[in-house]
Amino acid sequence: MDGANIPGATGKGLAKSAGALAGIKVVDLTRVLGGPYCTMILSDHGADVIKVEPPQGDEVRDWGPPFHEGDASYFIGVNRNKRAMAVDLRKPEGQAIILKMLAGADVLIENFKPGDMERWGLGYHEVLSARFPRLIHCRISGFGGDGPLGGLPGYDAILQAMVGLMSVNGDASTGPLRVGTAIVDMGTGLYSAIGILMALHERTVSGQGQYLDMTLYDCGMALLHPQAANFFLNGKRPAGTGNPHPNLVPYDKYSTRTCDIFIASGNNGQFRKLCELLGRPEMADDPRYSDNGQRSINRAALSEVLRAAFAEHDGNEIAIKLIRNGVPAGPVLPVDQSTAAEHTVHRDMVTELDWYKGIGTPIKFSRTPGGTRRPPPKFAQHGGEILGQLGYSEAEIEALRRSGVVHDKRRI
């Protein structure tokens, strides 16, 4: 469905085409964040995503406040453009429903504990690969199904701790610090979307689907740059440096007369221009700051001089002046200001459809632009519609409801 053509729809950042993934069907058995974030990316660009929840629902529907009509912002933020139903996969009739869905699906994505799908007769290697040879099955788990930690559950903050991300965040005063966003969950969602698209492309050549073994552990570790690269080269354990960059100077947050700004000077030319625009051109000729290596050695002294210089300026004005003149800089904005910024509006990075408001898709196509087509679904909102499309009669659907195989209301 093209969001821009929904009768009576009003909003921003709506889909203006069928999307680059139009015709791709995804059965989404995931909950919480990594999987739903992945499938929202796919649905933003036209994939028909059927979100199949357990009878108790995706638990993040409860992760508020704030709420909209009983659903938490945590759920709302990563589940637009999907259709939803609820199925008890522990029942044979529920498993049969999934198998009917997979007959017409391109992708199955799930984040159950390794072994659950196999126990339900839905394992890829045991059943699905033979029955649906073109199916791409993406499993997201904490650590995978084998190895020393195989089968253990995964949680974003715990993985941040275990893969080293916390150790390189924060500084000496804070110690290891969790990254403020769920970077491992969302990074896994992004890597999973990339993997699924790779598998879809490969299928055009081979005609075969395949299994993707995606773990929070692997994806979290893949985000350790440049700290891992530094360690592999110099053998020194990386530590949290806070805002400063471990390799570049000046690369830090500075206070001004009006707000904090961030400077990310990456070369000598940028540093010289920075000194000129601050009215301190002599700093660029000081041998202590002549190149990045010297600036790194004399980091503390340079930082003291820069802090004094920035304190005299209006932060927003000097930051824009710097970046317009080739020095990477920007004001440090809170979320309410960043989402309301003029450039955010220009880039359609806040999307709205009726009551729904969220962060828009960052993937911008020239011919097949994606965007919002429908707001996040209520629990089991499309159950009857989906079952009807699978060939179930009204009597059969009602029987499935009575027997507790499909649910219209969340089980408490």
Are both 160 and 20 inside the same structural domain?
Answer: yes
Give the CATH number, domain containing residue 182: 3.40.50.10540
Tell me whether residue 234 is in a domain.
Answer: no
pLDDT at residue 8 tops 80: no
Q: Last residue of some domain: 331, 362, 394?
A: 331
H-type helices in 242-298, by residue range? 268-277, 292-297
Are both 50 and 160 inside the same structural domain?
Answer: yes
Are both 290 and 375 inside the same structural domain?
Answer: no
Amino acid sitting at position 65: P
DSSP letter for 28, please: E
Chain segment 357-398, per-residue pLDDT in tens = 999 999 999 999 999 999 999 999 999 999 999 999 999 999
pLDDT at residue 4 tops 80: no
Are both 27 and 152 inside the same structural domain?
Answer: yes
Residue where the block lists tokens 């210089």: 309
Bridge partners of 138, per DSSP, are 109, 212
Are both 309 and 369 inside the same structural domain?
Answer: no
Q: Reduced to 3 DSSP states, what percent helix, strand and coil does the chain have, rounded to the nearest 5? A: 40, 15, 45
Q: Last residue of some domain: 302, 331, 360?
A: 331
pLDDT at 116: 96
Chain segment 116-154, per-residue pLDDT in tens = 999 999 999 999 999 999 999 999 999 999 999 999 999
Tell me whether residue 200 is in a domain.
Answer: yes
- Catalytic-role residue among 185, 213, 314, 336: 185
Name the percent of the chain lying above pLDDT 70.
98
Three-state SS at 260: strand
Are both 120 and 265 inside the same structural domain?
Answer: no
Domain that holds residue 114: 3-223+345-402
8 A C-beta contact, residue 352 and residue 11: yes
Angle formed by the axes of helices 34-44 and 183-206, nearest 10°: 50
The total of structural domains in the chain comes to 2
Three-state SS at 249: coil
For residue 201, give Cα distances in angstroms to 25, 194, 207, 247, 361. 15, 11, 10, 38, 22
Are both 324 and 383 inside the same structural domain?
Answer: no
Are both 140 and 169 inside the same structural domain?
Answer: yes
8 A C-beta contact, residue 382 and residue 83: yes
| 185 belongs to the catalytic site | yes
Residue 110 CB contacts under 8 Å (≥ 6 apart), including other chains: 29, 30, 35, 117, 137, 138, 139, 140
Chain segment 21-76, per-residue pLDDT in tens = 999 999 999 999 999 999 999 999 999 999 999 999 999 999 999 999 999 999 99
8 A C-beta contact, residue 375 and residue 355: yes
pLDDT at 5: 47
Chain segment 283-297, per-residue pLDDT in tens = 999 999 999 999 999
Tell me whether residue 250 is in a domain.
Answer: no
Give the CATH number, domain containing residue 319: 3.30.1540.10
Amino acid sitting at position 231: F
pLDDT at 9: 65
- How far is C-alpha 225 from the geometric centre of its chain's CA atoms? 18
The answer for 240, left when phi > 0, alpha when psi is -120 to 50, beta otherwise, is beta
Three-state SS at 128: helix
Three-state SS at 254: strand
Are both 158 and 56 inside the same structural domain?
Answer: yes
Q: Last residue of some domain: 331, 357, 372?
A: 331
Are both 353 and 272 inside the same structural domain?
Answer: no
pLDDT at residue 2 tops 70: no
Tell me whether residue 232 is in a domain.
Answer: no
Chain segment 317-364, per-residue pLDDT in tens = 999 999 999 999 999 999 999 999 999 999 999 999 999 999 999 999
Which is it for strands 356-359 and 350-353: parallel, antiparallel or unpaired?
A: antiparallel
Tell me whether residue 186 is in a domain.
Answer: yes
Tell me whether residue 15 is in a domain.
Answer: yes
Mean pLDDT value across residues 219-244: 95
pLDDT at residue 1 tops 50: no
Tell me whether residue 411 is in a domain.
Answer: no
